[in-house]
Structure 1
């Protein structure tokens, strides 16, 4: 993935976008900006300038009545990185981004509604056993 000099911000945001993709898509899919939304998502999949596309997606969401844009997309516990596991030197198997483009991770114990697929590439998340 190209480095856009943002200190990992793009990777973190890609993880949040991936996790909340259905909600983002619902805002942009049928609205007047649907074509622009599809173009932005296609660019993210292709690995184009992530920082620029994130800004465009943020503006698009704000026009779609999400006042805080991408900042309004929150993540639940156990998503967005490996969660802390007190008392366990090696954690359980974790599902991670299949191409390593974002830090999103899902534990097998996460609720069934937590997406276990990478929307960006349409692939199942890859299992990793920490410490293996």
Structure 2
């Protein structure tokens, strides 16, 4: 990450997106394991203050793998294709998804499908704000 908190490393960006998604899981390992929760907080502190979080992300990924969470922060282990190409239902039946929820700070590639209008918004665990709706061209 650069001094402004933006990462130049796509792997770190993707791991941050995966961390954000995993922090939303209240029954997941980051909520139930004190060591993993502490490292997660250090990552968040580094990102929020604009510091390089790569070493803490590496540590968290390793700890998740050692604890038996096979994926670790595994969203970064993709073929490197466009993020939108992996959206479930993005081209199902020839009807593309028109909107997606994305990082409110444009700092990571996290993408979620919108839920029903009456449900609570999906919140970014890093920035504490709702994911932003974005049209997919």
Same fold (TM over 0.5): yes
TM-score using structure 2 length: 0.63
**Cα distance change on mapping 1:24 and 1:46 into 2, 3 Å:** farther
**Cα distance change on mapping 1:37 and 1:104 into 2, 3 Å:** closer
RMSD: 3.5
Q: Which residue does 1:44 correspond to in 2?
A: 47
**Cα distance change on mapping 1:4 and 1:45 into 2, 3 Å:** closer
Task: Give the 4+ runs in structure 1 shifted more than 6 A.
Answer: none
Q: Which residue does 2:62 correspond to in 1?
A: 59
- Residues in 1 aligned to 2:131 and 2:49: alpha-carbon distance in whole angstroms: 18
- Residues in 2 aligned to 1:59 and 1:68: alpha-carbon distance in whole angstroms: 10
Q: May I ask how many residue pairs the two structures share in their alignment?
A: 119
Shift of 1:124: 0.1
TM-score using structure 1 length: 0.65
- Residues in 2 aligned to 1:11 and 1:72: alpha-carbon distance in whole angstroms: 12
Q: Which residue does 1:120 correspond to in 2?
A: 126
**Cα distance change on mapping 1:109 and 1:36 into 2, 3 Å:** closer
